[in-house]
Amino acid sequence: MGKLTDVQIRQWIASGTRFEGKGDGGGLTLRFRAADAVPRWLFRYTMAGKDRIMHIGSYADLSLAEARKTAKELRARVALGYDVAAEKRERKAQAAAKIEAERNAITVGKLADEYLAERIIGRWKHPNIVRSRIERDIKPAIGSLALADVKPSHIDALLKGIVKRGAPTMATDVLRWLKRMFDYAVKREMMQTNPAAAFDPSDAGGTEKPRQRWLTRAELARLFAAMKAARGWTYENTLTVKLLLMLAVRKSELIGARIAEFDLDAAVWHLPAERTKTGAAIDIPLPHQAVECLRELVRLAGHSEWLLPARKMQTRMIPHIDPNTVNAALAKSIRPIMGNCETFVLHDFRRTARTHLEALGVAPHVAERCLNHKLKGVVGIYNRHDYFAERKAALQAWADLLGELEAGEADKVVPIKRKAG
């Protein structure tokens, strides 16, 4: 029988009787120091001729019966030659080391931030495209995982999730950046293998095919009507869509534009070389309808230097609207009320403009320069004429057509007559 009882222990607690040790037998001891809120159980034993003490819990956590059971198990291990106190210290040290390792582990999110800073920003003309894939697709899915814990199954689930929401091309793009990002980690010995290495486009949504989508006159008319009727659709979005259609510029070129690039009195947009895909500056003639839209956007921008300033605080703190802002608004507010209309995105507007410029009688080489495409072959090498006057006439005719479509009077548009020869 043990020497302690629960009645005794409760009496000591109630009276505040303090003591260094009350033995129960078999190495089990109860301590109740002035600093102890409740009595604490100790297990005393001898190992290699030296006395050992092991703390096994408080009376609040272990009853007398439970403490006796624990002491019995510890005595059995000591009899087999185990230093139970040393084992406990080792377990605590391992647990602490694991917590510290987890705290300091490089996660996919940290890797993505480093990769963006080291390999993309300052090297890529449009780093926000990569940033968007990281923030919208990669981080939410696997950003919190430590690099050592990332498995191919995580990559597979991420890609399938993107495909499931109807964006196979985006899934292929995400796979491309995952491979490059993890290759970067392998080179810097952050991880041993690339968990995305075994995947190819067939796993992400198939081989990418060039988009062929363009909007007919009827679809453009429905688009204008939808923008007037849609709830939650902003005036700034309408002006942005009209400009992208009229000028046939790339989405990133308009969204990232500074107001200083526009000479609205001269009706010219001086697009600098560092913001063009071709790496060459170009002067874009502005139809009078585009000038009107731009004056409105300048007014709405207030004191901002950006034509389309950020509309709310963003975690990435880019000064202009996010590249996906208008596309997301199209998907949410416009396409659902356009009836049986095949899905389209802002990038399809350049193809739409090119198709209608051809229909308006614009010469192919002029239409190509309207889209800021380099002329191919010998013509592109030797002909440095920028066709500014011809582009001005072509874009004005296209803007006039868009205006007639918006007004429902497209039948009044007269095609451009090409010069003989």
One domain, residues 124 and 83:
no
268, 395 Cβ separation under 8 angstroms: no
In the beta sheet, which residues pair with residue 128? Answer: none
The helix (run of H) or strand (run of E) holding residue 212 is: none
pTM score, whole prediction: 0.57
Q: Helices 168-187 and 152-164 meet at what angle, rounded to 10?
A: 160
Residue 350 near residue 248 (C-beta atoms within 8 A) = yes
Find out whether 401 and 253 touch, Cβ atoms under 8 Å: no
Report the distance separating Cα 308 and Cα 129, nearest Å.
17
Residues 12 and 98 reside in one and the same domain = yes
* Number of other residues whose CB lies within 10 A of the CB of residue 65: 10
Residues 253 and 389 reside in one and the same domain? yes
- Tell me the one-letter amino acid at 316: R
Tens digit of pLDDT at every position of the chain (421 positions): 458 999 999 999 999 999 999 999 999 999 999 999 999 999 999 998 899 999 999 999 999 999 999 999 999 999 999 999 888 888 888 887 776 666 667 899 999 999 999 999 888 767 878 888 899 899 999 999 999 899 999 999 999 998 888 788 888 989 999 999 999 999 999 889 999 999 988 888 765 556 688 999 999 999 999 999 999 999 999 999 999 999 999 998 999 999 999 999 999 999 998 888 777 889 999 999 999 999 999 999 999 999 999 876 554 567 888 888 898 899 899 988 988 888 888 889 999 999 999 999 999 999 999 999 877 654 544 444 689 999 999 999 999 999 999 998 555 445 555 554 4
CA distance linking residue 158 with residue 154, whole number of Å: 6
Q: What pLDDT sits at residue 111?
A: 93
Number of domains comprising the chain: 3
Q: In the prediction, which pLDDT does 207 show?
A: 57
Evaluate whether 160 touches 199 at the Cβ level (below 8 Å): no
* pLDDT at residue 303, rounded to an integer: 92
Judge whether 212 lies within some domain: no
pLDDT recorded at residue 398 = 96
Could you list the residue range(s) of the whole structural domain that residue 281 is in? 217-412
356 by Cβ neighbours in 10 Å (0-12 / 13-18 / 19+) ranks as buried
Confidence at residue 419, expressed as pLDDT on a 0 to 100 scale: 54
Domain assignment of residue 316, yes or no: yes
Residues 234 and 187 in one domain: no
User: At 144, which CATH number?
Assistant: 1.10.150.130
**Residues 392 and 322 occupy one common structural domain:** yes
- The predicted structure's pLDDT at residue 2: 59
Q: 47 and 59, same structural domain?
A: yes
Q: Which two tokens stand for residue 351?
A: 């193809």
Same domain, 223 and 343: yes
Asked if residue 324 belongs to a domain, the reply is yes
State the Cα torsion 354-359-361-362 to the nearest 10°: 0
| Residue 238 forms part of a structural domain | yes
Same domain, 62 and 185: no
Q: Looking at the structure, tell me whether residues 52 and 114 fall in a common domain.
A: no
Q: What is the pLDDT of residue 376?
A: 67
Statement to judge: residues 134 and 195 lie in one domain: yes
Answer with the one of 204, 232, 255 that is the final residue of a domain: 204
For residue 48, the model assigns a pLDDT of 87
149 occurs within a structural domain: yes
How many other CB atoms sit within 10 Å of the CB of residue 383?
12
Residue 352 resides in a domain: yes
Nearest Cα neighbor of 178 from 214, 205, 142 is 142
- Say if residue 233 is in the same domain as residue 356: yes
- Please name the helix (run of DSSP H) or strand (run of DSSP E) that holds residue 5, with its range, or none: none
Angle of CA points 355, 360, 361, to nearest 5°: 100
CATH number at residue 11: 3.30.160.390
Domain end point (choices 83, 104, 125): 104
Q: Determine contact, residues 34/20, Cβ cutoff 8 Å.
A: no
Q: Which residues of 158-197 are buried (b: 16+ CB within 10 A; e: fewer)?
A: bbeebbeeeebbbbbbbbbbbbebbebbeeeeebeebbbe
Tell me, yes or no, whether 183 and 266 share the same domain.
no
For residue 255, being part of any structural domain is answered with yes
Tell which of 160, 178, 204 closes a domain. Answer: 204
Here the CATH number for the domain that contains residue 275 is: 1.10.443.10
H/E stretch holding 100: helix 84-104
Secondary structure of 232-281 as H, E, C letters = CCCHHHHHHHHHHHHHCCCHHHHHCCEHHHEECCCCEEEECHHHCCCCCC
Residue 421 lies in a domain: no
Residue 393 near residue 414, CB atoms below 8 Å: no
